Amino acid sequence: MQFLRQMWRFLVAVQLLPALESGEETLVGGQAVLEGVMMRSPHAWGIAVRKPSGEISTHTEPLERLSEKHKWMGWPVVRGVITLGHAMTLGFRALKFSANAALAEAPQPENGKKIEFSGWLAAVNVAISVGFFIFMYKFLPLVAATELKKVSPVFGEQVIFNVVDGVIRIALFLLFIWGTSLWKDIRRVYEYHGAEHKTVFAFESGDSLSIPEAQKYSTFHPRCGTSFLMTVMLISIAFYTAVPVYTFWARFAIRIALLPVIAGVSYEIIRFAAKHRGSLFALMTAPGLWLQRITTQPPADDQVECAIVALNEAMAVEAQRGGELVIA
């Protein structure tokens, strides 16, 4: 039963992965996982997970910054796609570690076989999550918008059709985010998300990494993946409107094919908005900050402790590989 519960938590968390991680390649960033936090610096990442016994389990690894290894990966738009793909891969590994940390203390079967998320089982979860994403946010909104054309010809006009499609997509996303927040297990993930943001704020402000210092900061961070997702959904409306296709399957194909381009452009908007808070692009990212009222929740001290431990673990490896990070 505990294994099935962990598998379900893992499946939902994988679907939420883009909203739980940092939306930009920055000095430090992180991601909430199951009962813990993953933190990364330019050349290292560390994770700290609270086991059912109360013990904190940690893991660290060096990390290559792809934009330093291959210059073309640092080009505008391209870097957004590369960063997102790299963050998703790393985030998936962190989620797998957190799930196995809890299962390590679960009652083991008499046959001596260890209960854990194997590579193939995790891959199945990812496949299900990708299928859910395409069905929920690409196929269903397109079906609904297409059906509305039968109600009135006005819904068939290119601009109105894609605006309606976009509104339905955002509504489904908000419903999913809100619905998962009602589940206690996922709400705890949102609390760890808040702990990650508070700890990053403390580091960026040059404060000591202690629980009291971190707790004084907000749980809302402008570079959160939640802001990135909302920006993607808003930008996608303009992109789909600009492509002159009108059949159902052509529109569906375009929604899949343009995903990397939209992600790359959205990444650039997030970067620009973070540096120019008074710009029009900053206003575009505002809905993502509002949505963090759901995806981040006030954390308890022990949850902030996990975030601090994770960042310290990453920084220890960073000092060996890239030197000490200094906030300018």
Show the domain range for 76.
Answer: 2-321
Residue 318, helix vs strand vs coil: helix
| pLDDT value at residue 26 | 56
| pLDDT value at residue 274 | 66
Q: Give the up-direction half-sphere exposure of residue 274: CA atoms within 13 A in the CB hemisphere.
A: 19
CA distances from 124 to 11, 15, 120, 270, 321 (A): 10, 13, 6, 31, 34
Flag whether pLDDT at 315 surpasses 60: yes
Determine, yes or no, domain membership for 182: yes
- Comparing CA positions, the residue from 16, 40, 10, 43 lying closest to residue 28 is 40
Flag whether pLDDT at 326 surpasses 50: no
- Chain position carrying tokens 């790359």: 264
Mean per-residue pLDDT, 8-27: 67
Determine, yes or no, domain membership for 326: no
Q: Name the more confident of 268 and 37.
A: 37
In tens, the pLDDT along 50-77 reads 988 889 999 998 887 666 677 777 778 8
Determine, yes or no, domain membership for 52: yes
Query: pLDDT-based confidence at 266, cuts 50/70/90?
Result: confident
Contacts of 219 (CB under 8 A, 6+ apart): 193, 194, 197, 198, 292, 296, 297, 298, 299
In tens, the pLDDT along 34-53 reads 999 999 888 889 999 998 88
**Strands across the sheet with 29-33, in order?**
29-33, 36-41, 44-50, 56-62
Flag whether pLDDT at 241 surpasses 80: yes
Determine, yes or no, domain membership for 327: no
Question: What value does the CA radius of gyration of the chain take, rounded to a whole number of Å?
Answer: 20
- Comparing CA positions, the residue from 180, 177, 151, 182 lying closest to residue 164 is 151
Contacts of 22 (CB under 8 A, 6+ apart): 29, 30, 31, 40, 87, 200, 223, 224, 225
pTM, two decimals, is 0.85
Say how many domains are in the chain: 1
Determine, yes or no, domain membership for 328: no
Contacts of 121 (CB under 8 A, 6+ apart): 7
Instruction: Return mean pLDDT, the chain.
Output: 83
DSSP string covering 257-316, please?
HTHHHHHHHHHHHHHHHHH-TTSHHHHHHHHHHHHHHHH--PPPHHHHHHHHHHHHHHHH
